[in-house]
Structure 1
Amino acid sequence: MFLLCSMMSTKYWIFFFPFLLIEHKAISAQEFGGVKTGSSPPSVSSILIFGDSTADPGNNNYIGTPFKSDFSPYGRDFFNHTPTGRFTNGLLANDFIAKYIGLKEIVPAYLDPSLTIDELISGVSFASAGSGFDPLTPSISNVITLSDQMNHLKEYRRKVEAAAGEAKAKEVISNALFLVSAGTNDFVVNYFALPVRRRSYTIPSYIDFVSNGATQFLQELLDEGARRIGVVGLPPMGCLPVVITLFTNHPILDRGCDDNFTSVARDYNQILQKELDALQVRVRSSGARIAYLDAYTPLEEMTLGHKYGFDVVNSGCCGTGMVEASFMCNPKSPVCDDASKYVFWDAIHPTQKSYDLIFQSFRPALDYLVGN
C-alpha cells in the first residue's frame, strides 16, 4: 500500500477513486460521561438531521451502495462495540448534540425499520454518506440525494400524523432542531476528482453553485415548517489524510495539509455564512433561527497545532491511515490501539474524540438555536 501510494498518478485514480466517494465505542462510561447534558427547553421536540457521512448513523446500510460502514472495526468503541453504519469508531457529533439538548443519547437512522414511533418523534437522521448539495455528487456513489432526504422528511411527517395526529406532527416539525452537514463530497469527490464540473465552473463559480444549493435546501426546510436550523461548514479539506495522499506531491514523507483545498473550504465557509445571515434577516419575522456551526476551526486546531493531545494528525487509525475508508477499513485491517490519540479514524472521517471536540465548538450556536 505504501508503494502504491508513492506511485500515485492519473492511472491509479480508477483504483483509488472509490475511497473518495465517502465524505468526510461500548465507549467507556467515564468518556461519555464527560459530555455535560444540557437542559433543553420543553419546546425542543426533536432533532432532525440531513447531510453526508458526517451525519449518517447508518442509512446507507439499507440502500444499494457499496459505501457502508456496518462492519468492524467501525464502531469498535461504540456501545457493545457495535458497527452501526457510522463512519467512525464511536459517536458522531450529532449524537453528542442530541444528548446535550436532552433528547436522546444517540440519533438513529431514519431508514432503520425497527424504529418505534417514539424514537421517530424524538429525532432521526436522514443523512447518507457520499451525498452533497450538487445533485451530481450523490449520483456518483448511488446514495441518497438531498432531494430524497427532503422527501423522507415529508414521509416522516406523514408517519407522525398517522400515529399522533396532524397537530402533533406540526408541533414536532416547528419545534425540532434541524441540522445540515454536507458539502465536502461536492469538492473532494466531485469537482476535484472528476472533470465534469471543472469544464463548466471555475472554483469561485462552483463555490457559489454549492452554497446556492445549500441555501435552496434550507429554504425548503423552512417551507416545511423548520424554525431552528444549524448548518455545518466545511472542514479544512486539505488536512484530510486521503487528500494529502492523493493530491500532494509528497504523500508519504511530507504529510502536511494541502492549502489549495483548505483555502477553498475557507472561501466557501465565508460565503455560506453571508448567505445564512441574509436568510436569517429574511425569516426573522417568522421567529426562525439559523446558525452557522464551525467545524473548520476545531479541526484546523487539531491538525495544525497538535492541540488537544493528539499524537497523530495526518493519517487515520485504521489501516495505513492514508487512503482506507469504507470497505478498505475492514475486519482484516490493522487498527491503532488507542483511537483517542488520532484526529482521524479512517483516511476521511474523524474519531469519536474529534467529533466530541467539534460538538463542543458548536455549543454557543446550539444554545442560540434551542434558546438556552
Structure 2
Amino acid sequence: MEPPEPCPSPNPAPAPGPSPRPPIPPKPQPKPPPAPGPSACPPIPPKPQPKPPPAPGPSPCPPPKPQPKPPPAPAPSPCPPIPPKPQPKPPPAPAPSPCPPQPPKPQPKPPPPPAPSPCPPQPPKPQPKPPPAPAPSPKPGPSPSPPKPPSPAPKPVPPPAPSPKPSPPAPSPKPSPSPKPSPPAPSPPKPQNKTIPAVFFFGDSIFDTGNNNNLKTKIKSNYRPYGMDFPMRVATGRFSNGKVASDYISKYMGVKEIVPAYLDQKLQQNKLQRSDLLTGVSFASGGAGFDPETSESVEVIPMLDQLTYFQDYIKRIKKLVGKKEAKRIVSKGVAIVVAGGTDLIYTYYGIGAQHLKTDVDSFTTLMADSAASFVLQLYGYGARRIGVIGTPPLGCTPSQRVKDKKICDEEINYAAQLFNSKLAIILGQVSETLRNSTLVYMDIYSIFSKMLESPAHYGFEEVKKPCCKIRLAGRAEGLGIKNLVPAFRSSFLKSSELPTGVCFASGGSGLDKFTASIQGVIWVQDQLKDFQSYIQKLSQEVGDAAKAKEIIANAVVLISAGNNDIAITFFATRAKKLRYNIETYTDQLIEWKMAFMQNLYNMGVRKFAVLGTLPLGCLPGARQMTGDLICLPHVNHGAKIYNQKVANLVVKFRQSLPDGKFVYIDMYNSLLDVIENPSKYGFRTAKPCCCSVMTPIPCLDSGSHVFWDFAHPSEKAYKAVLPNIVSVISNNLA
C-alpha cells in the first residue's frame, strides 16, 4: 500500500530532484534501479527512519528494500536520483549519495539523513537544496493529492500559509489520535512566531467586551463597580473589574491591548481607527450558550447570531481592503470560542430546569454537538485557526458553592468535566476532516482547579467569596431598583417614581371579595383598576405610550394573595365552611387568581412572580389559639394544598403564554425553616415582638424576634428569607 503513495510522484519526481538534472524523469530507469537501489537504499532506511515520523516520508524510505520487486514505484518516490541512467557514469558516487542526494556533490556523506526527509515530502520542490527542511514541502502538496487527502476543503489557498513553517502541525492533523490533545499543545506557541493579523472572539461573558450594552437584557456590566480597574476607570460592559480574557489573549498574541465589541457604537459608526476593525473584534455576549434556549431566556446574542455578525464583519473588511486581503485576514487570524458555563448553570441546573427533562449525559452531548457545528460554520466562513476553550470548575464559583459549608458543588463540576471530555473528543474528530486548518481544544478546568486548591501559590487569598456581590439586575438592594416602594394611592407619591414601580397591595385583602369586605380593604380586582390608572399616568410621565408599554412588559409583577382567604375567611369564619371544604375552596381561589393574572397579561404584563402562602398554621395568631403555641397542622395542610395548585397554575401559564415569563415562589418552606430554626438565622424566638392578642407592647429587641406581630415577619426575618426569593425572581424574570 505504501509504494502506491510515492508512486504518484513519477511525473512530479522530476520536478523535485530532476530539477538539477533532466535525465531523472525517464521511465526506463526502473531496470537499473534494482541493482544500485539495494546497495544504496538499504543503508539509507536505517538512518532516515528516526526522522520520518513527522512526515509520511518514513513509509517510502523503508520500502527501498522491497524495491527489487517493484523497482519502478519505490525508486521514483523515495530516491528519485537512483532511477536516472546518468548515475552509471559516476558509479562510485551511488553508494555515498545513494538515492536522496540527486546532486551527489552536496550529499556525499550526509545523504542518509536527508534521504528520509526528501521521501516524506513527496512534493520534491524543496528537496534540491534544503533536503533537511522538507517541512516547506507542503507548498507543492496542493498539487499532489496525497498530501492533502483530508476532506475536500473548497478553499486550498489558506493551507500554504499555515504549512510554511509549522510543518509539524500540518502533519499532526493526519494522525487522528494526536490532534485531540497533543498537537493542540504545541501549536499555540508557534502562531506567535507567525504573523497573526487578527483575533476573533465568540461565546459568553468571558470574552464579551461590551456587546450587551445596547441590548434589552438585564445581563449587563456597564455600570460601577465594573471597570473600576479598567483604563480611565470606565465601565465598558466587560464582566470584570478591568480587562477580560479576550483582551489578554489578544495582547499575548501580539495583536493589540484592547479588543473592541463588534456592536460598540463607535465601531459601528466608523469612529474608531480602521485598524481596530481589521485586527479583530469580539462577538461574544454575556449569558450566551451553545443551547439556543440559554441565550433566548436572558435575551442576549445567540451563538448563531454571533456567526451572522461575523459574516457581516467579513463584508465590511472586504470593502476596506479588498476580497483577497480580507480572505487572508480571516484565514490567518485566530478565532477563539468559549461557551457552555451558562448552559449548565442556568439552563440545565437553574432557570431552564432541563435536569428535570433530560439526564446530564444527553444534555452535555447536545452541547458538544452544537460546539462542533459552530466550529464547522466558522470554517465555512474562512476561519482556519480555531481554538475552543472548555468550561472551568463551575461548581466552585461563589454562586454555585454549597451554602453554609462553602464547598464546591461536585454535581455541577462533574457535568462540566463531562462536557469538556466530550468537547475534546468531538473536536479531535472534526480536526481530521478540516483540511488546511488548525483546531485546538484548550483545557482551563485543570488550570482553575489548581488555582483554587493553591490560591497562595498564585497570589490569591480568597477563593470562596466574590470580591463584589452584585445581583443579576442591579446594584445594592434586592432587585437593584430602589430601596423603598411607594404606595400607588399615597398622597406623597412623586410622578418620577412611576417608571420604577409602585405598590397596589392592600393589607388584609384577598382573592375572595368577602375577605376584603370584612376587613374594609382594597380587593384585588380593584387593585387592577388602580394598575390601569397607573399605566395612563406612566404614559404621561414618559411622554410616550410605546415607552410606557415597554416599561410594563419588562417590569416584574409580584403577586401575593391567598393568605387571608385561607387563614381568616376559611378557617376563622364559618360562612365559607358551610359551602366549601378546603379542596373546593382552594379550587375557587385558583380560578380567581387565574382570571386576575390573565387580566394583568392583557394589560401588557409579561413577567410574573407568584408567591405561595406562608406556613399559616405557624403564625403567632394561629398558634395562640391553642394556648401552647404549637403550629396548627390542619391550617398548614390547607396552605400546602393551595400552594401546590398555585404552582401548577404557573406551569399552565408558562405553557399557554410562551411570550411571558412566570415563576412560582415558595414562601412556605422559606419562612418555616426560620420559624423552626430561629438561632440559625440570628433570632432568639419565633414568638411575636409586638401587638399580639396578649399584649400591644413591643419587645425591646425586635432583631431577636422572627415575627413583629401576630401575622407578619420582622424586618430581620424578611432579610433572612428574601435573598432566596430575589434570586429566584432574578434568575427567572430579570
TM-score (norm 1): 0.73
Q: Does 1:214 align with 2:384?
A: no
Query: Deviation digits for residues 337-361 of structure 1, max 9, x if unmatched?
Result: xxxxxxxxxxxxxxxxxxxxxxxxx
Paired letter, 2:315: R
1:197 to 328, 336, 354: 354
Partner SS state of residue 75, structure 1: coil
- Give the counterpart letter for 2:213 in structure 1: N
Q: Give per-residue Cα distances to partners, 1:102-149, cap 9 Å, x unaligned.
A: 110011100012123321110100000010000100001000000100
1:155 is aligned to 2:312: yes
Same amino acid, percent of matched pairs: 35
Give, in angstroms, the shift of residue 276 of structure 1.
Answer: 1.2
Task: Give distance in 1, aligned partners of 2:191 and 2:254.
Answer: 6
Say if 1:176 and 1:195 are closer, same or farther in 2 by CA, change over 3 A: closer
Deviation digits for residues 187-242 of structure 1 (CA, Å, limit 9, x no counterpart): 10101113553344211000100010000000000111111111110110100111
User: Aligned residue for 2:266?
Assistant: 114
Kindly state the Cα deviation for residue 325 of structure 1 after the two structures are TM-superposed: 4.2
- The corresponding residue for 2:216 is 64
Based on CA coordinates, which of the two structures has the bigger radius of gyration?
2
What's 1:313 paired with? 463
SS at match of 2:261: coil
Letter in 2 for 1:303: L
Amino acid at match of 2:464: N
**Pick from 271, 281, 298: which aligns with 2:422?**
271
The answer to which of 193-202 and 208-217 deviates more is 193-202
Question: Greater shift after overlay, 122-131 or 39-48?
Answer: 39-48
1:84 maps to amino acid: T
The answer to whether the Cα contact below 8 Å between 1:38 and 1:102 also exists between their aligned partners in 2 is no
Map of 1:363 onto structure 2: none
Give unmatched runs, 5+ long, in structure 2: 1-188, 481-734
Distance (whole Å) between structure 2 residues aligned to residue 171 and residue 164 of structure 1? 10
**Contact 1:54 1:129 survives alignment (8 Å):** yes
The residue type equivalent to 1:296 in the other structure is: Y
In structure 2, distance between residues paired with 1:69 and 1:76: 11
Equivalent pair of 2:398/2:466 in contact (CA under 8 Å): yes
**Would you tell me which structure has more helix in proportion to its own residues?**
1
Distance 1:236 1:217 in 2: 23
1:74 matched residue in structure 2: 226
Which of the residues 155, 177, 184 maps onto 2:341? Answer: 184
Indicate how the Cα distance of structure 1 residues 226 and 203 shifts in structure 2: closer, same or farther if over 3 A, else same: same
**Segment drifting more, 164-173 vs 102-111:** 164-173
Tell me the SS of whatever aligns to 2:465: strand
- Kept in 2, the 8 Å contact 1:71–1:330? The answer is no
Matched residue SS, 2:277: helix
Tell me the matched-pair count: 285
- The answer to which structure, 1 or 2, has the higher relative contact order (CA under 8 A, 6+ apart) is 1
CA contact (8 A) 1:38 1:101 kept: no
User: Secondary structure of 1:180's partner?
Assistant: strand
Given the superposition, is the C-alpha separation of residues 195 and 57 from structure 1 closer, same or farther in structure 2, using an over 3 Å criterion?
closer
8 Å Cα contact 1:238-1:259 kept in structure 2: yes
Q: Following the alignment from structure 1 to structure 2, what is the Cα–Cα distance between the partners of residues 157 and 257?
A: 43
For 1:38 and 1:331, locate their aligned partners in 2 and report how far apart those are by CA, in whole Å: 49
Q: Quick one: structure 1 residues 278 and 329, their matched pair in 2 at CA, closer, same or farther if it must change by over 3 Å?
A: farther
1:330 CA displacement: 6.3
- Equivalent position of 1:257 in the other structure: 408
Is the 2:346–2:352 contact (alpha carbons within 8 Å) kept by the matching residues of 1? no
Structure 1: gaps spanning 5 or more residues: 1-36, 334-372
Secondary structure in structure 2 of the residue aligned to 1:124: coil
Q: Structure 1 residue aligned with 2:195, among 35, 43, 53?
A: 43
Relative to structure 1, the CA distance from residue 329 to residue 236 in structure 2 (aligned partners, 3 Å threshold; closer, same or farther) is farther
Q: Deviations over 1:46-75 (max 9, x none)?
A: 000000001101000121111110111101
**In structure 1, distance between residues paired with 2:204 and 2:321:** 30
Task: Provide the TM-score with structure 2 as the length reference.
Answer: 0.38
1:358 corresponds to:
none
**1:244-286 deviations in whole A, cap 9, x for unaligned?**
1xxx3xx13x101111111111111111111111111122xx2
Q: 1:292 Cα shift? A: 1.2
Q: 1:303 to 1:195 in 2, by over 3 A?
A: same
One-letter amino acid of the structure 1 residue matched with residue 332 of structure 2: N
Matched, 1:301 2:450: yes
Structure 2 counterpart of 1:262, one-letter code: N
* Aligned-partner Cα distance in 1 for 2:219–2:227: 15
2:500: which partner in 1?
none
Q: Does structure 1 retain, via aligned residues, the 8 Å contact 2:227–2:241?
A: yes
The aligned counterpart of 2:431 is: 280
For the 8 Å contact 1:38–1:99, the answer to whether it is kept is: no
Q: 1: CA distance between counterparts of 2:236 and 2:190?
A: 25
Equivalent pair of 1:69/1:327 in contact (CA under 8 Å): no
Secondary structure of the residue that 2:399 maps to in structure 1?
A: helix
Deviates more, 1:120-129 or 1:107-116: 107-116
Q: 2:438 aligns with which of 279, 289, 300?
A: 289
| SS in structure 1 of the partner of residue 400 of structure 2 | helix
SS for the counterpart of 1:60 is coil
3-state DSSP of counterpart to 2:313 = helix
1:135 matches 2:287? no
Contact 1:51–1:127 (8 Å) recurs in 2? yes
Tell me by how many angstroms 1:293 deviates.
1.5
User: What does the per-residue CA deviation read over 1:18-59, in whole Å, with 9 as the maximum and x for residues that have no partner?
Assistant: xxxxxxxxxxxxxxxxxxx99934531100000000110100
CA distance in 2, matches of 1:260, 1:329: 30
Describe the superposition over 1:308-339 as per-residue Cα deviations: whole angstroms up to 9, x where unpaired. 131110111013xxxx3454456999xxxxxx
Give the Å deviation of 1:162. 1.5
Change beyond 3 A, Cα 1:106–1:325 = farther
Q: Cα deviations across residues 140-177 of structure 1 (Å, max 9, x unaligned)?
A: 10000001000000000111112221112111111110
**Matches of 1:155 and 1:110, distance apart in 2:** 10
Q: Distance in 2 between matches of 1:313 and 1:327?
A: 24
Specify the SS of the correspondent of 2:195. coil
SS at match of 1:149: helix
CA distance in 2, matches of 1:103, 1:270: 31
